[in-house]
Amino acid sequence: MTGTRTIGRFISNQTWNFTPISVSRIGSHSFNQLRMSSSATAAVSESETAAAQKNYQIVQDSGNFDETQAKRPDFDHSKPIEVTKSPNPNWEYGQGVPGASLAGKHHEIDPYASDRPMINNYRLLVSGIAPRPVGFLSTVNAQGEKNLSPFSYFQVIDHDPPMFIVGFSSRPSRVKDTYRNLRETGECVINTVSENMIEAVNATSIDAPYGVSEWDVSGLHEAPSTTVKPSRVAESVFNIEGKVIDIKEFTDHQQPGMSLAATVLIKATRFWVKEGTANEDYSHIDLEKLRPVGQLGGISYGRIGSTFEQPRKRWSDEVGKSEILAKLDAGKPVDK
Ligand SMILES: Cc1cc2nc3c(=O)[nH]c(=O)nc-3n(C[C@H](O)[C@H](O)[C@H](O)COP(=O)(O)O)c2cc1C
């Protein structure tokens, strides 16, 4: 661990820097702080937590979902992924979006306005930033108790080094168990989610009491990891063992009765790819085998039914083919 941090006292927008080899130091320091922070929350006010619980509408009542689902067509497991032309194959430089209208105005929103409920920002963001990949995280706490939960505030953010980010939202009372475990042990496995896994994965998002393993809730199977303690999900096509590099807690935004929100940066320490799902040198996973699920707004998930390709171009190859690029090239500032 590097940087300055005072145990038990939160500094606004504090950043901790972890190195993969200092996991035991992370564990002891983080656990101390965690205990202090949760007892502080309890001391603040149980009524605040109760009030926060009342206003917390992230997990909504879905009415009679079984009835709604019964009216829908069956999921077609054998549907192949079709490859089509791109939307505008004759697109040229400078053309913008052919046929798109600019007539519609945009409505401006201040996400922090006093009359804007948090839930509106949640619904807007998850419906507007979609699809989101689901990072399915396996963690353990300092005592080795297991946890498995899905997170779609998740993304791979680099390949060199292979890095990932996960966002943990605040909720009434206690921080998410996965976040607590990452703080305590600094280790995880990120597992991919294929279509056939979604019911089991979704079930692990239940607010199980601390210490209850969602492996048992879901019936998913464990496979051993080599560089971290948490197990891999055997059903996943791709598992990434990883260690916490950095944590950013949004202490300045914490609301009464609510836990901290935080983002965690994770560096991969090992890859595992299911045999038969990738090419010979394990540099490309077959989409037909991965069958990834994306999270959409509300309680919706999406599948990939169709793809198209778009080659990436080099300026030096293209400049002679386009009047617009040639003009831009002629007018470019001199690079000193
Ligand atoms: C597909 C899916 C994606 C989710 N993404 C997130 C997320 O990005 N951040 C978050 O805080 N909670 C997310 N949740 C909710 C958590 O999975 C849920 O709060 C879970 O109970 C946390 O488990 P834990 O306390 O065992 O870590 C998501 C749930 C689902 C079903």
| pLDDT tens-digit readout, 262-288 | 999 999 999 999 999 999 999 999 999
Interval 66-105: pLDDT, tens: 999 999 999 999 999 999 999 999 999 999 999 999 999 9
> Residue 193 above 60 pLDDT?
yes
The minimum-distance atom of ligand 1 relative to the CA of 181 is 27
Confidence grade of residue 63 (pLDDT, cut at 50, 70, 90) = confident
Confidence grade of residue 55 (pLDDT, cut at 50, 70, 90) = confident
Q: DSSP assignment of 256-290, as one string?
A: TTBPPPEEEEEEEEEEEE-TTSB-TTS--B-HHHH
C-alpha 101 to ligand 1 mean position (Å): 37
Three-class SS state of 191: strand
CATH number at residue 137: 2.30.110.10
| CB-CB contact of 213 with 148 (8 Å) | yes
Q: What is the largest CA-CA distance in the chain?
A: 69
> Residue 10 above 90 pLDDT?
no
pLDDT of residue 324: 97
Question: pTM (2 decimals)?
Answer: 0.88
- Residue 276 in tokens: 């038969």
- For 319, residues 6+ apart whose C-beta sits below 8 A from its C-beta are 325, 326, 329
| CB-CB contact of 167 with 18 (8 Å) | no
d(CA 156, CA 164) in angstroms, rounded, equals: 4
HSE (side-chain half, CA atoms, 13 Å) at 152: 25
d(CA 43, CA 47) in angstroms, rounded, equals: 10
CA distances from 282 to 136, 197, 210, 242 (A): 21, 22, 37, 19
Angle (CA) 235-236-237 rounded to 5° is: 120
> Residue 243 above 70 pLDDT?
yes
pLDDT of residue 48: 84
How many percent of the chain have pLDDT more than 70?
Answer: 87
pLDDT of residue 202: 98
pLDDT of residue 105: 96
C-alpha 155 to ligand 1 mean position (Å): 14
Domain count, the chain: 1
Q: Is residue 85 part of a domain?
A: no
Q: Is residue 308 part of a domain?
A: no
Q: Is residue 179 part of a domain?
A: yes
C-alpha 179 to ligand 1 mean position (Å): 10
Domain range enclosing 185: 46-60+132-290
What would the mean pLDDT of 119-146 be, rounded to a whole number?
Answer: 97
C-alpha 178 to ligand 1 mean position (Å): 9
> Residue 146 above 50 pLDDT?
yes
Higher pLDDT, 261 or 21: 261
Highest mean pLDDT range out of 2-6, 208-212, 251-255?
251-255
pLDDT of residue 192: 98
| CB-CB contact of 219 with 204 (8 Å) | no
pLDDT of residue 3: 33
C-alpha 199 to ligand 1 mean position (Å): 14
Residues with CB under 6 A from ligand 1: 134, 147, 149-154, 167-169, 176-178, 202, 205, 207, 295
pLDDT of residue 51: 82
Q: Is residue 72 part of a domain?
A: no
CB-count exposure of residue 153 (10 Å: 0-12, 13-18, 19+): middle
- For 138, residues 6+ apart whose C-beta sits below 8 A from its C-beta are 146, 147, 148, 188, 189, 191, 230, 231, 232, 233
What is the sign of the dihedral through the CA atoms of 24, 26, 27 and 29? positive
Pocket test for ligand 1, best of 147, 149, 184 (most atoms within 8 A of CB): 149
Confidence grade of residue 4 (pLDDT, cut at 50, 70, 90) = very low
Confidence grade of residue 46 (pLDDT, cut at 50, 70, 90) = confident
pLDDT of residue 45: 75
Q: Is residue 214 part of a domain?
A: yes
pLDDT of residue 38: 40
Confidence grade of residue 131 (pLDDT, cut at 50, 70, 90) = very high
> Residue 133 above 90 pLDDT?
yes
Pocket test for ligand 1, best of 176, 177, 188 (most atoms within 8 A of CB): 176
> Residue 8 above 80 pLDDT?
no
pLDDT of residue 52: 82
- For 109, residues 6+ apart whose C-beta sits below 8 A from its C-beta are 116, 124
pLDDT of residue 218: 98
d(CA 276, CA 136) in angstroms, rounded, equals: 21
Higher pLDDT, 34 or 177: 177
Residue nearest to atom 16 of ligand 1 (CA): 205
Strand partners, 247: 16, 264
Buried b (16+ CB within 10 A) or exposed e, 55-67: ebeeeeeeeeeee
C-alpha 253 to ligand 1 mean position (Å): 19
> Residue 112 above 50 pLDDT?
yes
Residue nearest to atom 18 of ligand 1 (CA): 205
Q: Is residue 305 part of a domain?
A: no
Where do the DSSP E strands lie in 152-292? 154-159, 162-168, 187-191, 222-223, 232-233, 238-249, 262-273
Q: Is residue 246 part of a domain?
A: yes
The per-residue pLDDT of the chain, averaged, comes to 87
